[in-house]
Amino acid sequence: MKLKKILSESKLAPEQKAVFLEAVAKFNEFGKHIYRESNLSDVVESINKLTSSAGNYIVSETEDWFDNLTVKRDVKEINNSAKLFEKTALEIQGLQQRLESLYEDLGTKLGRYYELDEALDPVGKEDGDIDNDGDKDETDKYLANRRKAIAKSMKK
């Protein structure tokens, strides 16, 4: 028995019930804010390459005309900041994975009692997972062919 039925018999005002059920139905929309599209480790790797190259470039370009000691100290601080950046990014990745797991756990538990709408792909970023069940399989192929057939018949 879904709690939605129990909720219909509850003492909440009809407006409160409607607001609550609408919020529950939109639960999966929060996923687009929870899941990251870019891989943080790629960003860290790019920044490490940048700071390493920048440090070498700074030293080679300024050794003739600038205080060598100051340049080396600045390059050392750049490298230390890059290491701290990498360490923080690794901590964030761990927290991100925990956040995603907790979100999925909430969705599983709420889904036992309420109908949760499937989150739709953002416009222009649709993928092959048409039914948004997390994988690309025969069902998605069937739905794609069905959509093509419907679109073709609508043109006629």
Q: Which domain holds residue 99?
A: 3-119
What is the rounded distance in angstroms from the CA atom of residue 43 to the CA atom of residue 49? Answer: 10
Bigger pLDDT: 64 vs 58: 58
Instruction: Pick the closest to residue 130 from 141, 115, 116 (CA basis).
Output: 141
Tell me what pLDDT residue 84 has.
Answer: 94
pTM above 0.85, yes or no: no
132 and 75 inside one domain: no
Residue 1 pLDDT more than 50? no
90 and 21 inside one domain: yes
Tell me what pLDDT residue 134 has.
Answer: 64
pLDDT in tens, 4-20: 566 666 777 778 777 87
Name every residue whose Cβ is closer than 8 Å to that of residue 53 and which is 6 or more positions away in sequence: none
30 and 45 inside one domain: yes
Number of domains composing the chain: 2
| CB atoms inside a 10 Å sphere around CB 44 | 19
66 and 142 inside one domain: no
Residue 38 pLDDT more than 70? no
